[in-house]
């Protein structure tokens, strides 16, 4: 694939040089258990606003049994979720939305170009394109080995600080 097409040349990051493991990721991302879609962060460049992370796909992923029996492939929505978690990690770590937890605001121009299976290392590269007080926009590209399997634009929005508290609204 042409290098000008890439957010970041793979020669610029080392997948074996972990700068944030799952415990460090958990300091910034609230997802736990089956919804944790990052294994490690391996590259951060605050000047260019680029971050690289990966998810090691195991045979124990919650979707393996049912998507699709006998031919387990990572659902596209989970690929997008992994990219969103990388963008959220970066945004929260660098307090780009005033340190808020970031929620999905939208997806644009998403393309799936390959499959991800148990045993694969799913690499995500994200670059911040635009930042406003109420929304951030990132470009992302995802790879297995040297093959681009997914790409698109995602938008993140700051979630209310009290979102985790029980609702005070009366039940119907």
Answer yes or no: 92 catalytic.
no
Catalytic residue among 6, 7, 10, 67: 67
If 0-12 CB within 10 Å is exposed, 13-18 middle and 19+ buried, where does residue 45 land? middle
Pairing of β 135-144 and β 40-45? unpaired
Encoding tokens for residue 38? 């990052």
Buried/exposed 57-96: b ≥16 CB within 10 Å, e otherwise? beeebebbeeeeeeebbbbbebbbbbbbbbbbbbbbbeeb
Which residues carry out catalysis?
A: 67
């Amino acid at each position: 694939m042409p290098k000008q097409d890439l957010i970041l040349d793979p020669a610029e990051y080392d997948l074996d040089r972990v700068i944030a493991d799952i415990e460090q990721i958990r300091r910034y991302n609230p997802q736990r258990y089956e919804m944790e879609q990052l294994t490690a962060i391996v590259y951060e460049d605050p000047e260019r606003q680029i971050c690289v992370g990966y998810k090691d796909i195991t045979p124990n992923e919650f979707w393996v049994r049912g998507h699709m029996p006998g031919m387990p492939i990572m659902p596209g929505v989970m690929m997008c979720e992994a990219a969103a978690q990388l963008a959220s990690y970066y945004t929260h770590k660098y307090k780009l939305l005033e340190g808020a937890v970031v929620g999905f605001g939208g997806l644009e121009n998403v393309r799936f170009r390959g499959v991800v299976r148990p045993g694969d290392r799913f690499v995500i590269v994200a670059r911040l394109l635009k930042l406003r007080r109420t929304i951030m926009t990132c470009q992302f590209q995802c790879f297995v080995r040297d093959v681009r399997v997914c790409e698109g634009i995602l938008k993140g929005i700051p979630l209310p600080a009290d979102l985790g508290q029980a609702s005070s609204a009366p039940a119907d």
